[in-house]
Structure 1
Amino acid sequence: MMRWPSLAAAILSLALLSPGGPATPHDGAAKAADGATKAADGMIVYGVIPPRFGSPPLRAVTQNLPALADLGVTTLWLTPIFESPPGDFGYAVTDYLTVREEYGTRADLDALVAEAHRLRLKVLLDLVPNHTSAKHPYFRDAAARGPSSPYFRFYQHDPRGAPVHYFDWSHLPNLNYDEPGVVRWMTDASLSWIRTSGIDGYRVDAAWGIRERTPSFWGAWTAQIRRARPDAILIAEASARDPFYAAQGFDASYDWTSEPGHWAWEKVFDDPDDIPERLDRALQETAARAPEARVLRFLENNDTGARFITRHGPNLARVAAAALLTLPGVPCLFTGQEVGAEYEPYDVNRVVHLDRGSALRDWYKKLIALRAARPSLRSRHWTRVPVSVRSVYAYVRTEGAERTLVVLQFGDQPVNVVLELPDRQDQSATWRDGVGGPSPRMDEGRMSLSLPRWGVAILGSN
């Protein structure tokens, strides 16, 4: 939800307050989610910062929907659109039932959702249930009247009666989910947008925080949402390495380490000579800790600061895009990523233009179309392939008889690479190129490829 400081302060503030302990799976949530989560395997999420699309923001997003549909994404996640203080990005909510005035009106949102649905795009809102703004009327009343306020128990307090927050977010007081009024309030607000505007679900901000304090809330909440909308899409801003979120009915959670806000791929691309090994470690750690979880994978979002292309350049961005869209998980692109837009996410003054053609956008579109066409690229199955060159990472994706081999060259020099295909079926297969890359040569079960610098080969067999 914003730049993440150290977790140490949060742990200290919760030491006396958190009930702790794992929560057991919620049967109602798991059953209600079973059908909906299958659809998540083919999902490609696109994060939208509305004011970066123009003014008024919601109408500008609607005007850009054809470009997003043409790109091939399936699901839009709108960063917060609820009423918030002027100048705030949106995570300091002051009214959960009102569209932010400078973004547009409820009618503008309804028109956006209707047009998205016409183009076969789903729309997720960014729900912020962990906390409110310190300027929310409930918190102001609690701060002014203390325990005599009907809203005092709506907020978490320490033993001295001071409001509790995470990190340095003093303007974002934690809600108290041991208070039935908070549970009803947030559940009713969540259901309202589904029933009145027809949205398709939520990306849930700081879901890890409520899990830390009142883990029982999430299973009951997801079950309520799916009673109203059985195919709702629910994404938790929390680590996929914690199996809790899948058990409680979420479709996907973030590709984080075990520490909130820390991206599993955070340092993967810093050393070009070591990218394959760092990437493999990150993938293996997530798979080992939560083998059944759907992982929301990304190269950038609202919390990753300068854009990936700014930090690593267009060539590496091209190879990383191929990894994002051919590895297991739910890929997530973010505002302007496909056209190489460069900006800081929380500075929303500059508009990003999506209607300008570019080689990078063509590349993303080709990768997305290939993922849609090949079930193996949407499956959960992948096997690393040993290679002869340190800068190359390769893996096979499978679904039934279909197999897809992905070879990523992260180095800045051309290479001749030999792949030791691990399966007899792969060794005898006829491999066909899917992205206009080099043709392979087979010799006694080994594959040889000549790859240019930052080259990509995606080969299919069935």
Structure 2
Amino acid sequence: MRKKLLDRFASYRYLYTTALGHFYIIVLLVSAGPSFGLSNAITIHKEDAVVWLPEQEIRGHAEGFGGEVLTVHHNDSSFTITAMPDGTFSFPVEVVGRSVISVWGPKNGRTYRSDELVLTLGYAPFPLVRPIAQVRGDTVTLSVDVTETFPASVSYRWEAASGNPATSAIYSIHHGEAKARIPETFGDYYFNLWAISGGDSLRFQTYVTRNADGIAAFELAKTKPSWLEQAIVYQVTPSAFTEGGSLADVTAKLDEIAHLGINTILLQPVFATHDGGQGYDIIDYFSVREDIGGASQLREFIAQARKRKMKIVLDFVPNHTSVHHPYAQDAITHGNRSHYYNFYQRELDGAPYGSNYHRDANGFIYYFWEGMVNLNYHNPEVQRWMIAACTHWVRTFDIDGYRFDAVWGLAARNPDFPKRLVAALKSVKPELLCLAEDKASVKEPFQMGYDAAYDWTTDTSWVSQWSWETNHHERHSETVFNYPTASKRTTLLKNALFNQKMYGPMVRFLENNDLPPFLSSHNLEQTKMAATLLFSLPGIPMIYNGQEIGNLKHPYDDKPIFRSGNTIGQLDSVGLFPFYAKLAKLRTAHAVLRSENMREWLPSQVSNLLCIYRWTATQHAFTIVNPRENASAFQFEIDALRAIAGNADNLTLVDLITDERFTSITDNDNRLLNIPMPGYSTRILYLSK
């Protein structure tokens, strides 16, 4: 508890000072004021704090004041309360900005006063709102859904955003509602909603799309970012990217990354961290790590990426903080007097994945990594804190999306919060990507509003089992492609692709920040085989930095991947950089490779090969995989090919990887088209008439 000695005199002033020889006489005129008692007679049971909701309940105890009237001073105002018979008291306050609170009580000619409590609201004084667009004919009706009110008075104003395909004037404005007529020009029409309080304002946004099918409004539960279908992601660990470990080093190689065919960069956490490294032990969600260059380097990195038409996704860590976060440390120091004591999970709640809980010496619950302690998402202030932190980076740096780390744990403990978070973020930027580090093989992430999830199985005992992974080993990559029994590889791969439903877009990968390098456990041919398959499937392909040069360092080792004095290509000794660049180029060029349509194309005889048919309304392609060392051959029935090609004759299958051409001959007696398949190979065959 803070100890403050209060001066017994309310005011004083010097009358005059005069010098007599070497002596100085100081005369004071004292004006009498109330006599104060020591502060420990009245105590407030809370420490100073940044708070994340305006409504706060203050509790305390007034020794010897049972049943008596006390005066609460809150900034420049005051009000009275009555203590309970045992001297305890409580009262609500609304915190807007900085609030200084104290409790006074008169007794026996003296006034007793508590220490001052200082509470500061952590975010701008505005409500949470959702801008709503509803379409009827050519007219869109714009309205406001206030999802969280705020004490201050707020008004609303609509405007058409700049850069729309054509002018769409706002009219019929009334109490936060407005209308706009959408022109015939195709495209996305954005509308800004301004929340205004005093001299401050905050922008929210929604949009409608006009195309050949008519006009459709943005729908939170259905609309995905329009750029997601073409995304090719490159995950970066800034601290290990080069020996310099800074964002400036990543910026310097953006041209090479763009040449690789990347259009989306996922940065591992850039927020202030205690231990450095990959950066998942956050100690400040509102500042950029100084060891990777601080806010100035992040701003320059984003600016340069924008010039290259790249999207920027930040890796955000909502499940836990570092135990060294000031809030956790405050809770350790002050116990339940700390405002942040209940910011953290302290109970074994029996939620899914609860078998992975551990408790540390301070009573915090965590999953796998001691020192990364779970937040309590049943606390509404924790929810509002995370919403404020996430919206901060969207508003300040105009990022394009988030990957939400370990959100499987957060969602297991409180499945309602992700819906609220996604709604708040997409009310600021509706095209924002919300990627869940969770299973695409279950419905829940998509029901919560996430746009995409990971290519993980439904196994809850193994939280993050990659669908192509057959066994977990921290240092070796054990997959369907190097399974010891070669004859079972095709069946395992088939099961991974067709026997497990995926409920929405998924991130597909061979490596990420948690996995050992693929090439360390597979040969080069197997690596190219798997990479080709990955880029030919539905989903969002992701490359982990260093994967494109065959880097063999484990991500957990945090060793430099590249060198400032060498290009990425110069460090590629195995030929993977041009190979991945070609895969990315092919995926960008051929819509059929990005299509959601996929089914197995059954072979006529051969069982050790897997053929995957991909199609759009106008394009057809086949991905054939031979996961075994021995060469084989796949046979297409020509009549079956002709049937999907509109009964055209003389069809040609072009291997997009090797440029080989395989042509059907109409008078072929056995009516089969033979495709040789080398060992450890994947062909992408494009059907041409």
The one of 611, 635, 642 aligned to 1:418 = 635
Whether contact under 8 Å (1:50, 1:58) holds in the other structure is yes
Q: Does 1:341 align with 2:566?
A: no
Q: Does 1:225 align with 2:428?
A: no
What is the match of residue 626 of structure 2?
A: 409
User: Compared with structure 1, are the counterparts of its residues 425 and 273 closer, same or farther at alpha carbon in structure 2 (3 Å cutoff)?
Assistant: same
Written as runs of structure 1 = structure 2, the 5 A alignment for 1:185-334 is 185-258=385-458, 259=460, 260-267=463-470, 268-271=480-483, 272-287=486-501, 290=502, 292-304=503-515, 306-334=516-544
In the aligned structure 1, how far is the partner of 2:526 from the partner of 2:610?
A: 13
In the aligned structure 2, how far is the partner of 1:453 from the partner of 1:285?
A: 25
1:109 Cα offset (Å): 0.2
In the aligned structure 2, how far is the partner of 1:56 from the partner of 1:208?
A: 29
Q: CA RMSD in A?
A: 2.3
1:263 Cα offset (Å): 1.1
3-state SS in 1 of match to 2:469: coil
3-state SS in 2 of match to 1:296: strand
> Any runs of at least 4 consecutive aligned residues in structure 1 with deviations exceeding 6 A, and if so which?
27-30
What is the match of residue 162 of structure 1?
A: 363
3-state SS in 1 of match to 2:320: coil
Q: How many residues align?
A: 431
3-state SS in 2 of match to 1:32: coil
In the aligned structure 1, how far is the partner of 2:660 from the partner of 2:682?
A: 8
User: Compared with structure 1, are the counterparts of its residues 33 and 226 closer, same or farther at alpha carbon in structure 2 (3 Å cutoff)?
Assistant: farther
Q: Does 1:149 align with 2:346?
A: no
Q: Does 1:454 align with 2:680?
A: yes
Whether contact under 8 Å (2:280, 2:317) holds in the other structure is yes
What is the match of residue 561 of structure 2?
A: 351
1:453 Cα offset (Å): 2.4
1:153 Cα offset (Å): 1.1
Whether contact under 8 Å (1:432, 1:459) holds in the other structure is yes
User: Compared with structure 1, are the counterparts of its residues 87 and 228 closer, same or farther at alpha carbon in structure 2 (3 Å cutoff)?
Assistant: closer
In the aligned structure 1, how far is the partner of 2:510 from the partner of 2:626?
A: 17
Q: Give the counterpart letter for 1:293 in structure 2.
A: G
What is the match of residue 115 of structure 1?
A: 304
Larger relative strand fraction? 2
Whether contact under 8 Å (2:632, 2:676) holds in the other structure is yes
Q: Give the counterpart letter for 1:298 in structure 2.
A: F
In the aligned structure 2, how far is the partner of 1:372 from the partner of 1:91?
A: 32
In the aligned structure 1, how far is the partner of 2:534 from the partner of 2:672?
A: 26
Q: Does 1:436 align with 2:625?
A: no
1:430 Cα offset (Å): 3.3
TM-score, structure 2 normalization = 0.60
TM-score, structure 1 normalization = 0.88
Whether contact under 8 Å (1:323, 1:408) holds in the other structure is yes
Q: Does 1:106 align with 2:307?
A: no
1:447 Cα offset (Å): 2.6
Q: Does 1:137 align with 2:337?
A: no
Whether contact under 8 Å (2:613, 2:620) holds in the other structure is yes
Written as runs of structure 1 = structure 2, the 5 A alignment for 1:68-79 is 68-79=257-268
Whether contact under 8 Å (1:437, 1:456) holds in the other structure is no
What is the match of residue 5 of structure 2?
A: none
In the aligned structure 2, how far is the partner of 1:60 from the partner of 1:204?
A: 25
Whether contact under 8 Å (1:33, 1:230) holds in the other structure is no
In the aligned structure 2, how far is the partner of 1:103 from the partner of 1:274?
A: 45
Q: Give the counterpart letter for 2:631 in structure 1.
A: P
In the aligned structure 2, how far is the partner of 1:376 from the partner of 1:416?
A: 24
In the aligned structure 2, how far is the partner of 1:276 from the partner of 1:446?
A: 22
3-state SS in 2 of match to 1:41: helix
Whether contact under 8 Å (1:240, 1:286) holds in the other structure is no
Cα deviation 1:49-73 (Å, max 9, x = unaligned):
1123221410001011111111112
1:244 Cα offset (Å): 1.5
In the aligned structure 1, how far is the partner of 2:324 from the partner of 2:510?
A: 33
1:219 Cα offset (Å): 1.0
In the aligned structure 1, how far is the partner of 2:612 from the partner of 2:451?
A: 25
3-state SS in 2 of match to 1:342: coil
Q: Which structure 2 residue ranges, 5 or more long, are not aligned?
A: 1-131, 133-144, 146-205, 207-217, 349-358, 471-479
Q: Does 1:45 align with 2:230?
A: no
In the aligned structure 1, how far is the partner of 2:432 from the partner of 2:455?
A: 21
Whether contact under 8 Å (1:383, 1:396) holds in the other structure is yes
In the aligned structure 2, how far is the partner of 1:331 from the partner of 1:273?
A: 27
Whether contact under 8 Å (1:386, 1:420) holds in the other structure is no
Identity of aligned residues (%): 32
Structure with higher Rg: it is 2
Cα deviation 1:152-186 (Å, max 9, x = unaligned):
1111112799322224x231111011111111111
In the aligned structure 2, how far is the partner of 1:183 from the partner of 1:165?
A: 18
1:441 Cα offset (Å): 5.0
1:351 Cα offset (Å): 2.8
3-state SS in 2 of match to 1:459: strand
Q: Does 1:366 align with 2:582?
A: yes
Cα deviation 1:244-289 (Å, max 9, x = unaligned):
11222212101111232111111212324322211110112332xx
Cα deviation 1:203-258 (Å, max 9, x = unaligned):
10011111101111111111111111111111100000111112222121011112
Q: Give the counterpart letter for 2:292 in structure 1.
A: Y
Q: Which structure 1 residue ranges, 5 or more long, are not aligned?
A: 1-26
Cα deviation 1:391-424 (Å, max 9, x = unaligned):
4221111111211111222222322332357562
What is the match of residue 107 of structure 2?
A: none
1:88 Cα offset (Å): 4.4
3-state SS in 2 of match to 1:36: coil
User: Compared with structure 1, are the counterparts of its residues 338 and 56 closer, same or farther at alpha carbon in structure 2 (3 Å cutoff)?
Assistant: closer
In the aligned structure 2, how far is the partner of 1:394 from the partner of 1:352?
A: 37
In the aligned structure 1, how far is the partner of 2:342 from the partner of 2:624?
A: 55
Whether contact under 8 Å (2:226, 2:431) holds in the other structure is no
1:96 Cα offset (Å): 0.8
1:390 Cα offset (Å): 4.0
Q: Give the counterpart letter for 1:416 in structure 2.
A: A
Q: Give the counterpart letter for 1:47 in structure 2.
A: Q
In the aligned structure 2, how far is the partner of 1:310 from the partner of 1:101?
A: 33
Whether contact under 8 Å (1:385, 1:419) holds in the other structure is no
3-state SS in 2 of match to 1:109: helix
* Structure possessing the higher relative contact order (Cα contacts under 8 Å, 6 or more residues apart): 1
In the aligned structure 2, how far is the partner of 1:100 from the partner of 1:157?
A: 29
In the aligned structure 2, how far is the partner of 1:376 from the partner of 1:63?
A: 34
3-state SS in 1 of match to 2:527: helix
